[in-house]
Amino acid sequence: MQNAALEYDYTVSKWFTYLAIIFGIVGMSIGVFIAFELAFPELNNLFGQYGTFSRLRPIHTNVVAFGFTLSGIFGTFYYVSQRVLKVSIAESKFVHGVGKLHFWLYLLLAAWLVVSELLGYTTSKEYAEMEWPLDLLTVVVWVLWGMAMFGLIGMRREKTLYISMWYYIATFLGVAMLYLFNNMEVPTYLVTGMGDWMKSVSMYSGTNDALVQWWYGHNAVAFVFTVPIIAIIYYYLPKESGQPVFSYKLSLLSFWGLMFVYLWAGGHHLIYSTVPDWMQTMGSIFSVILILPSWGSAINMLLTMKGEWNQLKESPLIKFMVLASTFYMLSTLEGPIQAIKSVNALAHFTDWIPGHVHDGTLGWVAFMIIASALHMAPRYYKREIYSRKLMEMQFWIQTTGIVLYFSSMWIAGITQGMMWRAVDQYGNLAYSFIDTVTVLHPYYTIRAIGGTLFVIGLFLWAYNFVKTMQSEKVLEKEPAFASPMGA
Amino acid sequence: MENIRELQAFGYFFFTVFLVVVLYAYILHLYRAEKKGTRNYEKYGNLALDDELHQEPVEPNEETTSASKEKKEQ
């Protein structure tokens, strides 16, 4: 390898970014379809067993969480890590090969996941629906990512790991631990010689299974939807705005705070269940404390823009990222409120919960992945971004979509919770279940429309990205900070 | 000790005090390290901004940079 020609190699990063765009459109289109199914139940019968809500819902959650989001995370990882470590992945054929293998096996796993879940294979554990052979492949994929990560770190020219790398490493270690313990399962065919070879049962039973599941489930939110997205914003917002992070010390403090507190909060999913009372209380308390490190990161991001707020007006990319950190603040305040026992008594099992999840995932996670892909596009292709107007349009359409989604679900959830609890003077329930369904219908329709707007925005994103590849405005060198964009 | 609940309450109190001490000790450590001049944490913010491959590292990793310097000289 001749040093004179040495450049960052974005091959693997590009491949993952393409996947993020494809999985984003696929996963969220399915989400919109099942949202319409909830509003108009006859849609459940369109494609026989393959089109029912119960069959499609896990595909929606898995494709957006482990398809769209993870691809976005990997795409940014193979970009950011090279740059902040000042090392090209092409300097080591082995590490580069590992990165490529990581991509292809991940693609195989994703395809297998979609097909197997469409055929009805599921462990019935939320966000851990993949059956045991897929779990084994997941381990291989994850180890390959770790090899690429630590391979790059081993080759680095920069002695200190930038804060984004801390968060990527935490994602790798956190998910590895959670995934292994929650997916301990017994393949029934191999043990008993009966049934389907793909089928397995959990090694834990009853309340223990629920506890491990929600320790995993909540921390899947932590280590897939929060930690790596903080890694992303800590690189892309300072880089795009040309401003160093407001306080590096605050980023370190928030990191350790988040790592320590998040792992104990999962119990809030099991409030008023058979789990010991002290565990429920612990889940509540840790959820409330979690506001501090979360807001530490978010405020750090907003203060990074200090004195540069004019950029918010001028750059749609900055708009996406600043609104993302604002949505992060909103959802990390909303979550702890829902985890308080008395609030949970009203909110649990209602539509307020998916409302909360979606202001975090659409407003925070998706906006960061969208912004990072558009920041990378001019660097990938040495061309300016095709259209600023299209990006502005996408931003406003999607923001409107998110607002429709969460506001309708707030109203629906609280209405639902109040109706379930309402009793007459003799203590009889005032409403039957179908009464709530009738009242909620308009809100379900509004939610589906909000989702549709978000998916329209994804198509604009994909179009803008593809057109950037063919843009006529070729750049002589990589832009240092603000991404150049055409009208 | 009257019962396990009392023990839990003491445990809970002292553990909370311990965690608060750890938290503030870490903040103190960060600021003292800067004041003494052993570290300048804020310069690491530049790791994201000055990230071109040919740029001087903010803090060179001696194990790899000496090797790469040799390569450049060849």
> Scanning every residue of chain B, which has its alpha carbon at the shortest distance from the alpha carbon of A245?
B45
List the domain boundaries for chain A.
8-188+201-469
Contact B58 A164 (CB under 8 A): no
Contact B58 A88 (CB under 8 A): no
A-chain CB neighbours of B58 within 8 Å are 158, 160
Please list the residues that pair with A429 across neighbouring strands: A423
What is the nearest CA distance from A296 to chain B, expressed in angstroms?
13
DSSP three-state, residue A10: coil
Contact A159 B57 (CB under 8 A): yes
Between A244, A253, A478, which is nearest B27 by CB? Answer: A253
Contact A252 B30 (CB under 8 A): yes
Residues 38-57 of chain A with CB under 8 A from chain B are none
Q: What pLDDT tens digit does each residue of chain A (487 aa) get?
A: 445 578 999 999 999 999 999 999 999 999 999 999 999 999 999 999 999 999 999 999 999 999 999 999 999 999 999 999 999 999 999 999 999 999 999 999 999 999 999 999 999 999 999 999 999 999 999 999 999 999 999 999 999 999 999 999 999 999 999 999 999 999 999 999 998 999 999 999 999 999 999 999 999 989 999 999 999 999 999 999 999 999 999 999 999 999 999 999 999 999 999 999 989 999 999 999 999 999 999 999 999 999 999 999 999 999 999 999 999 999 999 999 999 999 999 999 999 999 999 999 999 999 999 999 999 999 999 999 999 999 999 999 999 999 999 999 999 999 999 999 999 999 999 999 999 999 999 999 999 999 999 999 999 999 999 999 998 889 998 899 999 999 8
A88-115: string of b/e by CB count within 10 Å (b at 16+)? bbbbbeebbebbbbbbeebbebbebbbe
0.85 surpassed by complex ipTM: yes
Chain A contact for B16, CB < 8 A? no
CATH class of residue range A8-188+201-469: mainly alpha
Contact B27 A235 (CB under 8 A): no
Contact A157 B27 (CB under 8 A): no
Chain A contact for B33, CB < 8 A? no
Contact B53 A88 (CB under 8 A): yes
Question: Position A437: which residue type?
Answer: V
Closest-CA residue to A286 (of A305, A267, A309, A312): A267
d(CA A300, CA A141): 33
d(CA A109, CA A102): 10
